Amino acid sequence: MDLTSLTNAAFAGVAVFGAVLGALGLLAFRRAPSPRMALVATGFLLIAVQGAVVSIGLFTSGWSPTSLLALSALFEAALLVVLFVATLVR
């Protein structure tokens, strides 16, 4: 298995894991609605979307590695903002 296939599989796994955690977060939000729980679920769903987008980009080989790295960094920055707001802003 070459490095591209391994990287693609890793990002696909991250996407699935993020989607599962996002779904669990949404279920928790339905059970006990709070803005913080909604933000945490949003953060998990951002990770799922990031994994899917980067995995598709690697699979189709349509984007350069630099573009995928920049896109991944944008998703992670958005996640950090969401988690910051969820934990520290009242």
Per-residue pLDDT, 49:
92
pLDDT in tens, the chain (90 residues): 676 778 778 888 888 989 999 999 999 999 989 888 898 899 999 999 998 888 888 888 778 888 888 988 999 999 999 989 988 877
Per-residue pLDDT, 1:
62
| Domain containing residue 38 | 3-88
Number of folded domains in the chain? 1
Measured between alpha carbons, how far is 31 from 85 in angstroms, rounded to an integer?
21
| Amino acid at residue number 25 | G
Handedness of CA 37, 17, 10, 54 (dihedral sign): negative
Helix (H, G, I), strand (E, B) or coil at 63: coil
Helix (H, G, I), strand (E, B) or coil at 64: coil
Cβ atoms of residues 49 and 71 within 8 Å: no
